């Protein structure tokens, strides 16, 4: 059986992404909840070697560092999650949005997200949930490569900006 690191590299390659290992010295503090080391981190970049999305580090099943280098704004994240025009989260998820009459039922309730997942795990799931579950139907909100059926006007663009991702992460980490 392949190690988790090899499996992650194979999945990234299959998704059309270039994978480059980072020296383990850069992965300080990347220990799992049980104290066991996580999978070595990888930098994910576009196939061309010139990423359209700035590279980020995936360590195990999370992206431990902010995409912007700063914390997001939870209030803005809540409005993105509830928006029928930006995040579209409520098409599939339900959550603590009493003002929203129609909420999804095909994905997990967003309540308790922070009790189930770390900040880094939440970030990876918003960035590209297929890195955790290749069979997911959740869209990749911060990926431009390896996508199919993208309208020409949206090719090469992410669904959310790095700032919006961090706002979503800030909001979802309040849901304990």
Q: Please, what are the domains in the chain?
A: 4-172 (1.10.760.10)
Instruction: Give the per-residue pLDDT at 14.
Output: 43
Instruction: Give the per-residue pLDDT at 156.
Output: 87
pLDDT, tens only, 47-87:
222 245 778 999 999 999 999 999 999 999 999 999 999 99
Instruction: Give the per-residue pLDDT at 52.
Output: 59
Question: DSSP readout, the chain?
Answer: ---HHHHHHHHHHHTT-EEEE--GGG-TT-B-TTS-B-PPPEEEE-TTSS-SS--EEEBTTB--S-SSSS---HHHHHHHHH-TTTT-GGGT---S-TT-S---SSS--STTHHHHS-HHHHHHHHHHGGGT-TT--S--TT--SS--S--GGGTT--SS-HHHHHHHHHHHTT--
Q: What is the mean pLDDT of residues 104-126?
A: 97
């Amino acid at each position: 059986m392949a190690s988790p690191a090899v499996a992650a590299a194979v999945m990234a390659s299959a998704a059309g992404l270039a994978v480059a290992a980072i020296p383990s010295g850069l992965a300080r503090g990347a220990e799992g909840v049980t104290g066991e080391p996580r999978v070595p981190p990888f930098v994910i970049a576009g196939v061309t070697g010139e990423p359209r999305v700035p590279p980020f580090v995936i360590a195990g099943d999370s992206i431990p560092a902010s995409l912007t280098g700063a914390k997001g704004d939870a209030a803005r994240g809540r409005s993105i999650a509830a928006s029928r025009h930006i995040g579209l989260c409520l098409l599939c998820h339900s959550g603590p949005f009493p003002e929203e009459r129609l909420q999804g039922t095909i994905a997990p309730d967003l309540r308790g997200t922070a009790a189930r997942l770390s900040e880094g795990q939440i970030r990876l799931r918003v960035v590209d949930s297929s890195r955790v579950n290749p069979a997911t139907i959740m869209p990749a909100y911060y990926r431009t490569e390896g996508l199919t059926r993208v309208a020409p006007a949206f090719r090469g663009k992410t669904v959310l900006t790095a700032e919006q991702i961090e706002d979503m992460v800030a909001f979802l980490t309040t849901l304990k």
